[in-house]
Amino acid sequence: MKGRLGSLQKLGRALMTPVAVMPAAALLLRLGAEDVLNVPVIMAGGKAIFDNLPLVFALGVSMGLAGGAGAAALAGGVGYYVAAHLYNKYKDIKLPDFRGFFGGKRFVPITRVRIFRRSDRLRIKLRSCHTPPDAYSHRRSAQTGRGDGCNETGRRKPAGSRRYRSGNNCGGNKEIAVI
């Protein structure tokens, strides 16, 4: 019971992010109106938020569920655009009579599930292509003693270290500061 309520609470917090934007958009829309301040740019800002409300929810909820990660927001935005593209492409599709129930708007989620399954199969196939180069790099790193995250003295490099060695393995190394 506690786990279920905890996940609902997390979803509620994630939904609060896009909901918090709506009052600001409403204020922009109202203040930009002709009878208040008559500033078309302010009104256009509020209108843009309301016109893209599904995208605002996709970005806000994905970012809220991931704990504020920007990559999650990007994935939510891409997912929104993929879903919108699929909907526009397949919303008017006609299937044979015996499958007619699944045509039109109902066809979009079915197609999306099939695409995700295919992408999972492709990911599994590509994993087998990734394994040999990864194994080679680990073997090579073990042979040369490089790539283990340690510097020449055997101590760990600082977490924010931005200095790299350049040159060959014959002692001609010089330190380069990355700006």
**Of residues 7, 111, 116, 18, the one with CA closest to residue 62:** 18
Q: What angle do CA 9, 18, 34 make, to 5 degrees?
A: 150
The pLDDT value recorded for residue 46 is 87
| Strand spans (E) along the chain | 163-166, 174-177
| Every domain of the chain and the residues it spans | 11-81, 91-143
Say which residue, 114 or 16, is predicted with more confidence. 16
The pLDDT value recorded for residue 35 is 92
Give the span between the Cα atoms of 146 and 167, in whole angstroms: 14
Coil, strand or helix at 94: coil
**DSSP bridge pairs for 156:** 150
pLDDT tens-place string over residues 151-165: 455 555 555 555 544
pLDDT at 119 over 80: no
Give the span between the Cα atoms of 170 and 152, in whole angstroms: 14
Say which residue, 128 or 1, is predicted with more confidence. 128
Amino acid identity, residue 101? F
Q: How many helices (H) and strands (E) are present in the chain, helices listed first?
A: 5, 2
**DSSP bridge pairs for 150:** 156
Give the span between the Cα atoms of 1 and 147, in whole angstroms: 46
The pLDDT value recorded for residue 125 is 74
pLDDT at 29 over 50: yes
Say which residue, 141 or 107, is predicted with more confidence. 107
pLDDT at 106 over 50: yes
This prediction has a pTM of 0.51
